[in-house]
Amino acid sequence: MEIRELKYFVAVAENLSFTKAAQRLQMTQPPLSQAIARLEKELGVRLFEREARQSPRLTESGTVLYAEARRILKGVEVAESLLRHTKKKKRLLRVGSISSVHSGLMPSVVRSFTEAHPEIRVLVAESEEVDVRSELRSGSLDIGFTRAGETSEGFESEFLCDEPLIAVLPIAHRLAHRNSIRLSELADDDFVTFERNDAPEAYDRILISCIRAGFHPRVPMTAKNDLAMLSTIACGVGMSLMPLVSSSLEIPGVRFVPLEEPWAFTPLSMTWLKGIDNPARDMFASAVRLELRRRQVQDLERGRRTLTM
C-alpha cells in the first residue's frame, strides 16, 4: 500500500464520485479507478459499493480504512512540514486546539508570538478533543488546548480559565430577542451537540448544565465542529450551548444569548507531554497567559465604564 493510493482512496471517499475525485486529483478517471481496484485486491476487501447510475458508497471496510487513512495522511503532512522547516533551520512549534479556541484565542496569541519570535514558525491544527491527546502522545503536537478539567496520566496540564456558556439560537427562536435567558427555558428544545466520542468534555458539560437546570436535553443531531454546529442552528434545526468565545464566529441566522446561571461554564486548559523539555512550547504558553491577562484587564475596564455611565 502506497501513500499515493491512500490519497486516491480518500479523494473518492470524500467526493463519492470517481469523476469528481479525478478532477480534484488533476488526473483522468481510468487510472484512478484502476488504482482503487489494485488497492482492493491488495487488501482483499471491497472498499466501495458500485452500482450502475449510482454514486459509489463506502463499505464497512471502506469506512474503517477512511478513518485510518486520514490519520496516516495527516501524519505524513506533519512529517513533510517538519522536514521542510528542518532544512530551513527554523524551529517549528506544533499546536493543536479545539475549534472554539482555534477561532477565538489562538489568532491573537499566534500573531503576538510570531512577532516576538520570528525564528519560530507556529503550525496550528484544529483537532477534535480526543485527537489532541493522541497527537501529543504520538509526538505530532508540542502543546494542545482542551476543555478537560483534569490532568490525564503522562501529561502536564495548566488550567487557564472558566469560559461562560451561552445559548446559541436560530434567529427565529422564541427567545432569540432576549438579553439573557434561564437554561431551564430551553428544556423543550432540541439540542445540537458534538459526538461524545469526539469531544467528551464539551458533551458532558452541556449534559451536566442541563441536568442541573432540571432537565435532560434531547439531542437528535450532532456536529463535527463549531462551524458545522452554527450552520445547522442557522437552518433552524435545534440550538446549543457553546463557550462565549464562539460568538466571535459571525454566522447569519444565529443569535448568541447569555445564560443567567453563573455555574454554566466550561474550563479551558493547555496540556503537553510530561518530561519533555521544549523552550519554544514554554514561551508559547507564556504568550497564552499574557493574552488571557490582557483580556481580563479589558473586561475589568469595560465593567468600570459601564458602572460610571
Predicted confidence (pLDDT) at residue 307 exceeds the cutoff of 60: no
Q: How confident is the model at residue 304 (pLDDT cuts 50, 70, 90)?
A: very low
Predicted confidence (pLDDT) at residue 27 exceeds the cutoff of 60: yes
Q: Give the pLDDT of residue 86.
A: 61
Residues 151 and 289 in one domain: yes
Q: Give the pLDDT of residue 300.
A: 59
Residues 262 and 166 in one domain: yes
Name the domain count of the chain: 3
Burial environment of residue 134 by CB neighbours within 10 A (0 to 12, 13 to 18, 19 or more)? middle
Q: Assign residue 280 the CATH number of its domain.
A: 3.40.190.10
pLDDT of 173-224, one tens digit each? Answer: 999 999 999 999 999 999 999 888 878 888 888 999 999 999 999 999 888 8
Predicted confidence (pLDDT) at residue 309 exceeds the cutoff of 50: no
* Encoded amino acid at 172, one letter: A
Q: Which residues contact 20 (CB under 8 A, 6 or more apart)?
A: none
Residues 258 and 170 in one domain: yes
How many Å separate Cα 53 from the centre of its chain?
36
Residues 115 and 40 in one domain: no
Q: Give the pLDDT of residue 234.
A: 92
Residues 44 and 170 in one domain: no
pTM of the model: 0.63
Alpha-carbon distance of 155 to 162, in angstroms, equals 20
Residues 65 and 86 in one domain: no
Alpha-carbon distance of 239 to 119, in angstroms, equals 44
pLDDT of 226-257, one tens digit each? Answer: 888 888 999 998 999 998 888 877 788 999 99
Indicate the range of 78-92, 119-133, 142-156 predicted with least confidence: 78-92
Residues 51 and 89 in one domain: no
Question: In the chain, pLDDT over 90 holds for what percent of residues?
Answer: 32
The runs of H, that is alpha helices, within the chain are 3-15, 18-25, 29-43, 60-87, 99-103, 106-116, 129-138, 200-212, 226-234, 279-308
Residues 23 and 80 in one domain: no
Q: How confident is the model at residue 305 (pLDDT cuts 50, 70, 90)?
A: very low
Predicted confidence (pLDDT) at residue 306 exceeds the cutoff of 80: no
Final residue before a domain boundary, out of 49, 72, 95? 72
Final residue before a domain boundary, out of 72, 99, 121? 72
Q: Which residues contact 15 (CB under 8 A, 6 or more apart)?
A: 21, 24
Measured CA to CA in angstroms, residue 261 lies from 61, 155, 191, 213, 239 at distances of 46, 32, 18, 9, 17
Q: Give the pLDDT of residue 150.
A: 62
Q: How confident is the model at residue 58 (pLDDT cuts 50, 70, 90)?
A: confident
Alpha-carbon distance of 202 to 130, in angstroms, equals 11
- The residues facing 172 across adjacent strands are none
Residues 153 and 22 in one domain: no
If you average pLDDT over each of 23-37, 59-73, 203-217, 240-254, which comes out highest?
A: 203-217
Indicate the range of 47-51, 224-228, 281-285 predicted with least confidence: 224-228
How many Å separate Cα 293 from the centre of its chain?
24
Mean pLDDT value across the chain: 85
Q: Give the pLDDT of residue 146.
A: 85
Q: Give the pLDDT of residue 223.
A: 86
Can you give the residue range of the structural domain that contains 54? 3-72
Q: Assign residue 51 the CATH number of its domain.
A: 1.10.10.10
Alpha-carbon distance of 286 to 176, in angstroms, equals 38
Residues 244 and 106 in one domain: no
Residues 103 and 226 in one domain: no
Q: Give the pLDDT of residue 210.
A: 95
* Encoded amino acid at 89, one letter: K
Residues 40 and 185 in one domain: no
Alpha-carbon distance of 216 to 210, in angstroms, equals 6
